[in-house]
Amino acid sequence: MSIVGGLDIHRNQLTFDYVETETGRQERGRIAAADRERLAAWLTRFDTSTSVAFALEGCTGWRYVVEEMHKAGVHPHLAEPADTAALRGPKRRAKTDKADAKHLRELLDAGRLPECYIPPEPVLEWRAILELYSDLRAEHTGWAQRVHATCFHQGTTALGQAGVVRGSRERLMRIVSEQLSPAGRLQVNTALSVMDTLDEHLGRLRQRIVATARQVAGAQALMDAIYGVGPMTSLALVCWLGGADRFSASRKAVRFVGLDITVRSSDSKRSPGRLSRQGPEVLRWLLFEAAKTSARSHAPAHGYYTSVRERYDGNRAALSQARRIVRHAVHILTDLGDDAFTITRQPTSSSAVATR
Q: What is the mean pLDDT of the chain?
A: 90
Mean of pLDDT values over 209-223: 97
Q: Which residues contact 238 (CB under 8 A, 6 or more apart)?
A: 123, 126, 216, 218, 219, 222, 333, 340, 341
Mean of pLDDT values over 268-295: 83
Please determine, for residue 43, whether its predicted confidence score (pLDDT) is greater than 60.
yes
**DSSP letters spanning 7-38:** EEE-SS-EEEEEEETTT--EEEEEESS-SHHH
Q: Provide the percentage of residues in the chain whose pLDDT is more than 90.
A: 76
Domain 3-110 adopts which CATH fold? Nucleotidyltransferase; domain 5 (3.30.420)
- Of 20-29, 85-94, 191-200, 267-276, the range with the lowest mean pLDDT is 267-276
- Displacement of CA 283 from its chain's centroid (Å): 7
**DSSP letters spanning 76-136:** EEEEPHHHHHHHH-S--S---HHHHHHHHHHHHHHT---BPP---HHHHHHHHHHHHHHHH
Q: What is residue 264's predicted lDDT score, i.e. its pLDDT?
A: 53
Give the sheet arrangement for strand 14-20, strand by strand.
26-31, 14-20, 3-9, 52-57, 75-79
Q: What is residue 15's predicted lDDT score, i.e. its pLDDT?
A: 97
- Of 21-30, 63-72, 165-174, 175-184, the range with the lowest mean pLDDT is 165-174
Q: What is residue 170's predicted lDDT score, i.e. its pLDDT?
A: 85
Please determine, for residue 272, whether its predicted confidence score (pLDDT) is greater than 60.
no
Which pTM value belongs to this model? 0.87
Q: What is residue 354's predicted lDDT score, i.e. its pLDDT?
A: 43
Model pLDDT for residues 230-261, shown as the tens digit of each residue: 999 999 999 999 999 899 999 999 999 999 88
Q: What is the SS3 assignment for 268? A: coil
Strand 3-9 and strand 52-57: pairing? Answer: parallel
Please determine, for residue 222, whether its predicted confidence score (pLDDT) is greater than 50.
yes
Which of the residue ranges 27-36, 85-94, 172-181 has the most confident prediction, judged by mean pLDDT?
27-36
Model pLDDT for residues 113-158, shown as the tens digit of each residue: 999 999 999 999 999 999 999 999 999 999 999 998 998 899 988 6
Q: What is residue 172's predicted lDDT score, i.e. its pLDDT?
A: 86
Domain positions in the chain: 3-110, 121-213, 217-341
